[in-house]
Structure 1
Amino acid sequence: MPKPLRGILVKHRELLKFAVVGGTTFLVDNGVWYLLKLTVLETKPTTAKAIAIIVAVIVSYILNSEWSFRTRGGRQRHHEAALFFVISGVAIAVNLVPLYVSRYVLDLEVPHVSFLVQEIADFTSGSVIGMLLAMVFRFWGFKKWVFPDELGHRRRDNDAVVRKLPQR
């Protein structure tokens, strides 16, 4: 890596890791959503999206706590998880609003529009606009409340102590 680029990447490593986790959960979310939406929940796209987001949030918690924000936090696991899921619950509502508006306020659904227009509107509102809004909210909420930096120093210090202990 060129030195200037390396400095930027190191400075924003949490954001980059968060983005990788986001890309992974984007695939999980959309895979589950379309599986449900095109099969058992064909008439309930918002419900299918909510279930898909919940599955993606569980994957997100594991990846973010163990990788993206590993050096932050420091709370007991159950407290950290509770905060994570509260923030994620609000983010689910943020994510669903554009899809709900698209389907039920703007009537971008069959028979008012073609199936292709409906699917493009669903994807744009639910998987692009909604997900971007929820991602911004989650990143801010996770850094501020779930994995705050002031608690992370303790976790980093404990990790350093553990690494320095003699191995048996």
Structure 2
Amino acid sequence: MPSPTQRALARVPDRLRPFLVRHRRLVKFLLVGSGCFALTTVIDFELKLTVLAGKPVVALTIATVIGTVVSYVLNRRWAFRADGRPREVLMFVLVSAVAIAVNDLPLVASRYLLDLREPYTSPFRQEVADFLSGMVVGTFVAMLFRYWAMRRWVFVPLAGPALAAAVPQEPGHAAPELPRDVP
């Protein structure tokens, strides 16, 4: 029985398939990110329009933390197929803390430096500015940082390909997938 990934690839036009296979880790990372972006957006609006009405940066930070936790689990299990070593978890927390701050900075600038908030602008403009600065610009810049940092410091193999191939595997388990750009 083909995997969900194989079934999805079967529906992709033939000319795109080699590109997607070659960049499968990036594609998986972007799929996880898209789902977490949607989750973060929904949580952000729910918090902002209810219990955190006057605190948009706090609402975005909480929503981003929740999205980040979901992202970690999905990226670790699917996109990067890592094993959850204590060092990996610590590095993920550190990278994510920086990424959350990066994500919040455009919203802080929009609200408090450019004064795109009530009473200086209309409620509609404020919400559009919040969405564009916090959810679009902030998420995009944080995503670029996260992808680079995850590959560089978080989801790294313990050893090179030669050593990984020499380590005996449990029956029914494949050798861990190693990034192509690791020397």
> For residues 121-145 of structure 1, what are the alpha-carbon distances to aligned partners after superposition, in whole Å with 9 as ceiling and x for unaligned?
0000001000000000000000011
- 2:108 aligned residue: 100
- 1:8 aligned residue: 19
Count of paired positions: 162
| Higher mean C-alpha displacement, 151-160 vs 6-15 | 151-160
What is the rounded CA distance, in whole Å, between the counterparts of 1:67 and 1:131 in structure 2? Answer: 21
> Is residue 91 of structure 2 the alignment partner of residue 83 of structure 1?
yes
Query: Cα–Cα, structure 1 residues 57 and 164, in superposed 2: closer, same or farther, change >3 Å?
Result: closer
- 1:129 aligned residue: 137
Report how far residue 77 of structure 1 moved.
Answer: 2.5
Letter in 1 for 2:63: A
What is the rounded CA distance, in whole Å, between the counterparts of 1:38 and 1:52 in structure 2? Answer: 13
Which structure carries more relative contact order (alpha carbon 8 Å, separation 6+)?
Answer: 1
TM-score (norm 2): 0.81
- 2:172 aligned residue: 163
The alignment yields a C-alpha RMSD, in angstroms, of 2.3
Letter in 2 for 1:42: A
Of Structure 1 and Structure 2, the greater helix share is in 1
> For residues 106-135 of structure 1, what are the alpha-carbon distances to aligned partners after superposition, in whole Å with 9 as ceiling and x for unaligned?
000011000000000000000100000000
- 2:58 aligned residue: 47
The residue matched to 2:88 in structure 1 has which SS? helix
1:107-118 correspondence to structure 2 within 5 Å: 107-118=115-126
Maintained 8 Å contact 1:143/1:149 = no
Report how far residue 31 of structure 1 moved.
Answer: 1.0
Query: Cα–Cα, structure 1 residues 92 and 66, in superposed 2: closer, same or farther, change >3 Å?
Result: same
Query: Cα–Cα, structure 1 residues 164 and 94, in superposed 2: closer, same or farther, change >3 Å?
Result: closer
Letter in 2 for 1:44: K
Query: Cα–Cα, structure 1 residues 155 and 28, in superposed 2: closer, same or farther, change >3 Å?
Result: farther
- 2:148 aligned residue: 140
Q: Unpaired segments of 5 or more residues in structure 2?
A: 1-11, 175-183
What is the rounded CA distance, in whole Å, between the counterparts of 1:94 and 1:146 in structure 2? Answer: 18
Query: Cα–Cα, structure 1 residues 110 and 159, in superposed 2: closer, same or farther, change >3 Å?
Result: farther
Q: Unpaired segments of 5 or more residues in structure 1?
A: none
TM-score (norm 1): 0.87
Query: Cα–Cα, structure 1 residues 103 and 135, in superposed 2: closer, same or farther, change >3 Å?
Result: same
